[in-house]
Each structure stands twice: as C-alpha cells, then as structure tokens.
Structure 1
Amino acid sequence: MAGTDKQQDMLAEGPAIILVEPQLGENIGMVARAMANFGLGELRLVSPRDGWPNEKARAAASRADHVIDAAVMFDDTAGAIADLNFVYATTARPRDNFKPVRGPVEAAGELRTRFAAGQKTGILFGRERWGLTNEEVALADEIVTFPVNPAFASLNIAQAVLLMSYEWMKTGDQAVRPVESRPEPAAKQHVESLVAYLDRVLDERGYFRTEAKKPKMIENLRTLVTRPGFTVEELAVLRGVLTSLEKFSPRKPRGSGAPDAG
C-alpha cells in the first residue's frame, strides 16, 4: 500500500504534459518514460494518430505504466487545456504573436511558483514533424523555446519533454517565489467563452473586414484577453460591460465596423 500511495502522490505532481496529435506510439511511450524519470505523471493526448490505448507506447515507456494508464485523450487542444489556469506552448522559435518568450529554466520556475499557489498548469508540445500551429500557440499564455544550435535546431518530442521535466524537477530544491499578490487566473474554458462571445458580436457588427483575415484577427483578440491573466471575476466584469455596450450597438454588414486590422 505504501508504494501505491507514493505513486499517487507523483501522479498529482506538477504540470500536465499535453501532446498535440502525436504520430507514433513509441514517441508517446518515451515521453511517458521521461515524465516518470522526473516526477511528472499527468499526460494528455490530443487525437493521437494511431489511437489510444497503444501497446507500442506501453512497451516504449519502459515500466512507466502509471503514466500510460492515467493518460487522457481529447479531441482538440482547446478541450485539453480547458481546466488549466496557465499554459506554456513549446516552439522551436519565437512566434510573432506578442506573447512573452521564456527559456526552460525560467519557465520551470514560473510553473513551480504557480503549482505552489494551487494553480493547474500545463505544457503544450506539438507534432513530431511541424510542431504547433499559430492558432494552438495562441491558446497558451506564454511561449517556451530551447537554446539549441541554430544550425541543428530539431528536437524530437521526447527530448523536449525530457528537457522541461528535468528543469521542473530542479526547481523542487529551490525556494519558491512569493505568490500572495498574484490572483489565480481563470481556466482556459472561461477565456475561450469570452473569445467566442467577441467573435459573435464583432462579426454581427461588421468588425471583420474580410473572411480571409478573420482567423488572424481572432488570434490577436485571443492573445489580448489571455496575456493579462484575468481572473474569472474580471472576465465576468469585462463581459458584463461588453454585453451592456452590445445592446446599444447596431448590427452592420461585414467590413463596415472597424479599420483594417491587417
């Protein structure tokens, strides 16, 4: 029984590792092994190509069965992070979307601080071949990128997870920064609800000049409401203000309500 209790404690530790559309079961297994090496246990999978459960993943996990058995599958990235308060997106290079960019050491320290404050956190990892889309990166709060050789910048998914897991474990021996003055940000499902509301009312009032530019404009709006780390109460206040304004704002044809946002 003592061994079981210890395992359950490990499963509850640290940020969730979220793999977006992983292709090979072997890669998922090696990720699980890396997580177990450094005390992480919550694995979330977004539409794995070869389905789930996967015996090749279990074989490659090298007895990290507790991670494999506890893995949860989701249909999309938004659903996989809906209950999280703070999310990092890993990329090979910084993206042009106005998000703060951290290195692994700084990112791990931030995750430890938020974990100590009781917040639910996660790290997004993209597809083996081409990583995360701009839209998926936009769902996260900040970006973490790795200081690798620019002439050979490719990391496989297990290496990337291993690197972040190692930095996470290192922070366990360090003093945690004070968090008393930092309110808990709303879970992603609340942020996405506001984005969906903005999408609807702005579309009704002609804000989006062309259909082709709308996805990028929505991405920028998502970044705008994600970056401050609003609490649930703050989002409710903001939505209440916008709802009040909506009542007195006439609906207009597409493209008539805002300047070109590029």
Structure 2
Amino acid sequence: MTTAAPPCIILDKPQLAQNIGAVARVMANFGLADLRLVNPRDGWPQEHAWAAASGAEWPLNAARIYESVEAAIADLHLVYATTARPRELQLPILTPRDAAANLAGEVAEGHAVGLLFGGERAGLETADIALCSAVVTLPIDPRFRSLNLAQAVAINAYEWRMTTEAGAPPAFREGPAAADAAAMLGLYEHFERELDDAGFFHPPEKRPSMIQNLRSALARARFSDQEVRTFRGVVTALSQGRGRVLERLAREKAARKD
C-alpha cells in the first residue's frame, strides 16, 4: 500500500491577499502544503499574502494558479466542497471530522485528494460544487453562517491533522516519571504523623478510613519525585510553623504569669 500526499487546499476566486496568507498559515500549522488558487481577484503573487502568513511561506511559495476549478482538481481522485449554504444538489453532507476520516482512507490508498473552498463574498457556485463528491459543512449557529475563509480552512485542517497526530504533541505528553511506591509511602507516613500530632484523626476509630481516603486522593495526583519532595517540604514547613506558634503562645502565657 502506498501513501499519497495530504489533501490539497483549493481556493476558488479568493479576494484578499491577507486571507490567502492566513490560509497558508493554518495550512502550515496542521501539516498541509499544497495550495491551489483559482483566479485570485488581484492576481498572483501578492505581497500582503506573505505578510499575513507570518513566516509560513512554503504553501505560498509553491502555490499553483489555475483558470478554472476543473483544471485545479484534474489530478485529484476525491474532492469535497466546503460550504455553509444549502444547495439543490443531492450530495452527501459530511462534517469536517467525517470528511477527514474519508480523506485519510483515500490517502492511505495512494489517492490524491482535496478540499475546495469558495471566495469570501459568495462562496462556491453550484456548478463547482457539482464537480465534488460530497459537501462538507460545519454545525454552526444558523443565525450567522458566515465564516472567515482561514477559519474554515483551519477547522478542516485540524480535523485532518487529528487523523494522523491524535492527542497532544509529544512535548506536552512527556512529563517527569511518577514517583515510585516507596517515595509515596514515605509521603503518606510523613503526612499522617503530622496529622496525628495535630489531632486531626478524630474520633480515633475513624483513623483507618480517613487515612485510606487521604492516601487514595494523593495517589490519584500521580506525583513525580520532585513533587513528593515539594509536598513533604510543605508538610514540614506547616508543622514547624505550628510549633513556633505554640512556643510563642507558651512564652506569652508565662509572661502574663510573671
């Protein structure tokens, strides 16, 4: 089995260079690079697009220009049209998540695929939607269906990314290892000694169940070794502070007797 490139993004009659640049930026965010422009209103290239891309230049540098949607999708095996407006065409209606899953399956089979987006003013023409296999639409509030072009691309690009990179990036997943059982036992016993000294376990017959609840709560936190040391330091500071308060109260009491 071969794997084709990720979906291409096709913008039909985009109007503003800033929007094209913003699309390139979100494409780069989610691992897409193939940008195709059909009759951009102000021609191409446009300097403002690179400024709006904020460094995501590779989709813009490699962008291809076409005179028609037919030409832009000629090499693709599957194309979905994105629109928030109902049309009279009887095409399957997909959410971005469902569409991304279908596209991923096609890519896994080595097929070239794409997502077609309309211009900012009027969206896609019915004739262009008819060239596609399905319509992708978002469950947005019907009171305001208008969505910024880059936002629409971002939502679909995110769903595509989730088919290949589900979950948080590794940098967020790779945290310190959890403390071992011996370290946690030391924490439990330290904490419980101080609570005993403070008279926390009352009445005495409830001590076992109270300890069980405390240990269960602390275990769920999955402390690292550093966090165990920090927590034990907190317990020590609190106990020492209590001792200092008791010493001060004793001195004040003795002074009053004098």
Normalising by structure 2, we get a TM-score of 0.62
Q: Quote the residue 2:30 is aligned against.
A: 38
Residues 220-254 of structure 1, C-alpha deviation per residue, up to 9 Å, x if partnerless? xxxxxxxxxxxxxxxxxxxxxxxxxxxxxxxxxxx
Q: Does 1:89 align with 2:75?
A: no
Query: For the Cα contact (< 8 Å) 1:94–1:143, is it kept in 2?
Result: no
* Structure 1: stretches of 5+ with no match in the other structure: 1-11, 175-262
Paired amino acid for 1:148: I
Q: Quote the residue 2:101 is aligned against.
A: 109
Residues 55-113 of structure 1, C-alpha deviation per residue, up to 9 Å, x if partnerless? 10011011111111010000111100011000000010332211111011000000111
Give aligned pairs, total. 163
* SS of match in other structure, 2:127: helix
Aligned pairs for 1:164-243 within 5 A: 164-173=156-165
Which of these residues, 2, 5, 10, is aligned with residue 18 of structure 1? 10
Which of these residues, 134, 144, 149, is aligned with residue 136 of structure 2? 144
Deviation of the 1:161 alpha carbon: 0.3
Which of these residues, 37, 58, 75, is aligned with residue 50 of structure 2? 58
Say which is worse superposed, 95-104 or 69-78, in terms of deviation.
Answer: 95-104
Q: Does 1:155 align with 2:147?
A: yes
Deviation of the 1:152 alpha carbon: 1.3
Mapped to 2, the partners of 1:110 and 1:144 lie a distance apart of 11
Q: Does 1:122 align with 2:114?
A: yes
Deviation of the 1:151 alpha carbon: 0.8
* Structure 2: stretches of 5+ with no match in the other structure: 167-258
Mapped to 1, the partners of 2:44 and 2:136 lie a distance apart of 28
Q: Does 1:99 align with 2:116?
A: no
Deviation of the 1:173 alpha carbon: 3.9
Larger radius of gyration: 2
Mapped to 2, the partners of 1:151 and 1:21 lie a distance apart of 26
Query: For the Cα contact (< 8 Å) 1:94–1:145, is it kept in 2?
Result: no
Mapped to 2, the partners of 1:130 and 1:53 lie a distance apart of 23
Aligned pairs for 1:237-252 within 5 A: none
Cα RMSD (Å) of the superposition? Answer: 1.1
- Name the structure where helix makes up a greater proportion of residues: 2
Deviation of the 1:54 alpha carbon: 0.9
Query: For the Cα contact (< 8 Å) 1:31–1:158, is it kept in 2?
Result: yes
* SS of match in other structure, 1:139: coil
Query: For the Cα contact (< 8 Å) 1:84–1:120, is it kept in 2?
Result: yes
Mapped to 1, the partners of 2:46 and 2:150 lie a distance apart of 17
Deviation of the 1:35 alpha carbon: 0.2
